[in-house]
Amino acid sequence: MCLLMVSSPAFQPTRDQLLVACANNPDGFGWAVNTGKKIITGKSFNAEHSVKTFLDLLKKYPHAWGMFHARIATHGSVCIENTHPYKVGGRSDLVLAHNGVLGIELEKGETRSDSRVFAEDWLPELGVEVLDNEVEFEQLETLCSGSKLAILSIAPELKKPVYIINEYLGHWAESIWWSNHSYKVGTSIWSGSFWSLKDDDLIDKGETDYEVGDCRICGGWAIEDFSTVCDTCESCLYCGEWFGHCLCYLPDAQDREAVNYERFI
């Protein structure tokens, strides 16, 4: 799943939002702050340290764009090198983070994640100028279909400080862009609590095993039986992703031990 966040200047997420994101996506945390003159980045496996450092930077640079990423590993080993964000082509003036699965066929023995390969090899080969070309940017979004990527830039050949690829797949809330809803209190890939159960709305008051509730993605009315997909928007009720991009079926995800939000507060 992963969680990718981009904050607009003068806006910042709350500590609790980021800690929930870390609890739901515990395989490494990274951040970047674009001050306009430099991009400050960091990575850690310590959620509390990561969140505090990032929020302190946003306070120090209130007019900066911010990026925060919490990872669930799908490709590549769990290590600090595979933790987002990545320098694009090794450049310190261009950094990228990703949420989703890219259609990159990794070579046998490759320990880098698909996201890292995209940042280090694919995008530099395509040429970063595609980010400012409307037609080529749309082609890039098609190439990354189903994925969401954010890029912070102070590159002299580019026009904007931030680019979000497939922005429509995420959502804006109070001038902060989120790639999915796994930052919300009460949501957890482990407990399935993207499902908001209405205890007093059991159909026929117990005459059926089906439970009724609101999907936290679309807010629609849905019925939970043996399925874990919302009947209305077809989002996974565990991670919030559209079922076609959901990774909850992975054996690795099923075998993980629960990560409690309380351990980070």
Domain residue ranges of the chain, discontinuous segments joined by +: 3-178, 195-264
Nearest to 232 by CA among 253, 212, 262: 212
Give the pLDDT score at 245: 62
Average pLDDT over the chain, rounded to an integer: 78
Q: Residue for token digits 């189903």?
A: 146
Cα gap 207→251, rounded to integer Å: 34
pLDDT one-digit tens code per residue, 99-152? 987 877 777 777 788 888 899 999 999 999 999 999 999 999 998 888 899 999
CB of 215 closer than 8 Å to CB of 39: no
Cα–Cα dist 56/131, whole Å: 30
Average pLDDT value for residue range 186-214: 40
Tokens of 201: 């709305």
Report d(CA 33, CA 37) in Å as an integer: 10
Q: What would the mean pLDDT of 189-202 be, rounded to a whole number?
A: 38
Give the mean pLDDT of 181-189: 66
Tokens of 193: 């609590």
Give me the percent of the chain exceeding a pLDDT of 70. Answer: 68
pLDDT per position as a tens digit, 222-253: 444 445 666 556 667 666 666 666 665 444 44
pLDDT band at 9 (very low <50, low <70, confident <90, very high): very high
Per-residue model confidence (pLDDT) at position 220: 52
- Cis peptide, bond prior to residue 85, ω within 30 of zero: yes
**H/E run at residue 20:** helix 15-24
Task: Tell whether the model's pLDDT for residue 69 goes beyond 70.
Answer: yes
User: What is the mean pLDDT of the segment spanning 85-108?
Assistant: 87
Token pair in block for residue 191: 């407990």
Cα separation, 166 vs 146, in Å, equals 8
